[in-house]
Amino acid sequence: MPTLEPLRPEHAPALLAFELANRAWFARSISDRGDAYFAEFADRHAALLAEQASGVCRFHVILDPAGALIGRINLLDVRDGEAELGYRVAESAAGRGVATAAVAEVCRLAAHDYGLDALTAAARPDNPASLAVLARNGFTVTGEFLLAGRPALRHRRVLDRSREVF
């Protein structure tokens, strides 16, 4: 079973390796981060840690049982009791329930540890794996919009602190 850890400075090398190793895999279903992201990774990592320290975002890494970084899951733009959920899992971990388990755990954290009331998420219709992860975790489609010029579906899940125990 994978575990989540809050993003820390020492995660930088493993996170960069994860992003580079899976760049082509991710680009199949979401926009590529671009070369500048990788060239400026150290500065970007420091900026994420500063955002997290301010409470604006909650960043997490997903670790396999051996402690290898196999994904990331984030709560972005935390405000008014809500946040935007984002996640990505390594190609080598895809199809094994890692994303489903990580989303379930971050929903629990969001409700109990971060005091949030709802999460939103986006997924493209041509990304059935992500759509399934959201559906399995109780997210419902609330609308359509364009994401980087391509159709996407907006999802929402209301969190119930009395029930978010897994």
Q: What's the token pair of residue 70?
A: 């196999």
**Residue 124: count of CB within 10 angstroms of its CB:** 16
Using DSSP bridges, classify how beta strands 150-158 and 69-79 pair: parallel, antiparallel or unpaired: unpaired
- Distance from C-alpha of 137 to C-alpha of 151, rounded to nearest angstrom: 22
pLDDT, tens digit, 9 for 90 and up, residues 108-117: 999 999 999 9
Domain boundaries, position 119: 3-158
How big, in percent rounded to 5, are the helix, strand and coil portions of the chain?
A: 40, 30, 30
Does 108 reside within a domain? Answer: yes
Give the span between the Cα atoms of 25 and 32, in whole angstroms: 10
Query: Span 148-162, mean pLDDT?
Result: 89
The reply to whether 84 falls in a domain is yes
Place 53 in a pLDDT band, splitting at 50, 70 and 90.
Answer: very high
Residue 165 lies in a domain: no
Residue 166 included in any domain: no
pLDDT mean over 7-21: 93
CATH of the domain at 41: 3.40.630.30
Residue 104 lies in a domain: yes
pTM over 0.75: yes
Q: What percent of the chain clears pLDDT 90, i.e. is strictly above it? A: 73
* Domain count within the chain: 1
The answer to whether residue 15 is domain-embedded is yes
pLDDT for residue 165 is more than 60? no
Q: Are 152 and 124 in contact (CB under 8 A)?
A: yes
121-150 residue pLDDT tens = 999 998 899 999 999 999 999 999 888 788
141 belongs to a structural domain: yes
DSSP three-state, residue 158: strand
Radius of gyration of the chain (CA): 15
In a domain, 52, yes or no: yes
